[in-house]
Amino acid sequence: MVLTIFNTLTEKKDEVRPRDSETFRMFVCGPTVQDNVHLGHAKTYIAFDVLARWLAKKGVKVFFVVNVTDIDDKIFDRARNENVPYTAISDRFFNEFLSDMKSLNITTFSRIETVSNYLEKSVELVQDLVAKNKAYTLDGNTYFDTTTAAHFGKLSHQTPLQLRMKQVDAAPGKRNGVDFLLWRKIVDTQEGVWDSSLGPGRPGWHIQDSAIAFSLFKGPYDLHGGATELIFPHHEAEIAQNEGISSIVPFVSIWMHTGLLLKNHEKMSKSLGNVVKIVDALKNSNPNLIRIYFLRRHYRESFDLDLKSLAGNQKDLDIIQEASKISKRNASTGEDEEYMASFGKAMDDDLDTPKALSILLDLSKKIVDASKSSVEVPAELQKAFWGMADTLGFNLA
């Protein structure tokens, strides 16, 4: 069976295969390290962690890159308010991010790259776009000219008319409303201003991902992911940049997006002040409970956080935990084929984790019931238990 993932670009489930080599190369947008990450981030990164685990289980080598934005106005503002160097803020929350990911058993990232290490590459890419007449400078800022991109709007499925109504990085004199910043001029002598051939300033948000992708992947890659809120303008801009620089279309094969975690029907975000931080959620819950809660819903769904129903998964988690104590991980047999086939069918269908989880629960009950009635649990079932539990990312002692 071949894994299929819903591709925002083609609006259908596309086959997932490494395109140029044996290694599957994926990039997921990471956080801005201005504060602790929240349960919305957990929802996203658990989905991509499960994708990487499932690919690895299928024998695919995965190179999974996550970027962390460590230079951003929000970080500089916080540093000024707290009267500390900005690196005190970015280092602190970078480490907190690592620790939250570890707590949630999100272990599949191959590389976590900070944007500040890719300034030169960002400048180089912007200069390349300027040389190709795909970017222009206005008052010291450099913008991408979106009319030079073939089919700008193809990811967010917007018509030229719809795009004409949009404003991105609004500034007087731009050629088109949706032209986005590649390099932002900053003149005051505050921290975090880099002097470059483009003038003093900072790279725009979108070029940062391209700089990391071009540096690490060296060419086109297989999958780029994030939450749906990043489709426009962020990912749309990335496509324009990547394809403008390389002339390779598509530069990224699959664009995979996770639905949002809402709170009282609004997006959970720091700016709305309605976040539940992972570190706080873990005080009254545990990582396996959070994982089961998100796996119960399909990753593309957006839904309201309901802490009561999160806690309501305890019974199911107890059964999984009980089965884990009975099952031997290193039994010297193969995994039960029937169970693994139905589990695999669900996972291959755009990561149908609600179905996959129900199969794991069904097997867990079977194992627990057998053990209660003193029937020996076949080794193949024990192995299948671990095959599924590890793929879904449960951390069971």
Catalog residues that contact Zn ion under the rule CB under 5 A. 29, 209
CA distance 261 to 226: 13
| One-letter amino acid of 101 | M
- Residue 111 phi, psi dihedral angles, 5° rounding: -140, 135
Which residue, 231 or 347, has its beta carbon nearer to Zn ion? 231
Which residue, 145 or 209, has its beta carbon nearer to Zn ion? 209
Which residue, 89 or 230, has its beta carbon nearer to Zn ion? 230
Q: How far is the CB of 325 from Zn ion (least distance, A)?
A: 41
CA distance 153 to 231: 10
Q: How far is the CB of 29 from Zn ion (least distance, A)?
A: 3
Which residue, 241 or 364, has its beta carbon nearer to Zn ion? 241
End-to-end CA distance of the chain: 31
Which residue, 250 or 354, has its beta carbon nearer to Zn ion? 250
b/e code 30-56 from CB counts within 10 Å (16+ = b): bbbbbbbbbbbbbbbbbbbbbbbbbbb
Bond from prior residue into 233 cis (ω within 30 degrees of 0): yes
DSSP annotation of 204 reads: -
Q: How far is the CB of 4 from Zn ion (least distance, A)?
A: 24
Q: How far is the CB of 214 from Zn ion (least distance, A)?
A: 14
CA distance 132 to 149: 12
CA distance 244 to 223: 18
Which residue, 226 or 259, has its beta carbon nearer to Zn ion? 226
Q: What is the DSSP string of 122-180?
A: HHHHHHHHHHTTSEEEETTEEEE-GGGSTTTTTTTT--HHHHHT--SS--TT-SSTT--
Which residue of this chain has its Cβ atom nearest to Zn ion in the complex?
A: 29
Which residue, 14 or 72, has its beta carbon nearer to Zn ion? 72
Q: How far is the CB of 56 from Zn ion (least distance, A)?
A: 23
Q: How far is the CB of 171 from Zn ion (least distance, A)?
A: 22
CB 75 within 8 A of CB 97: no
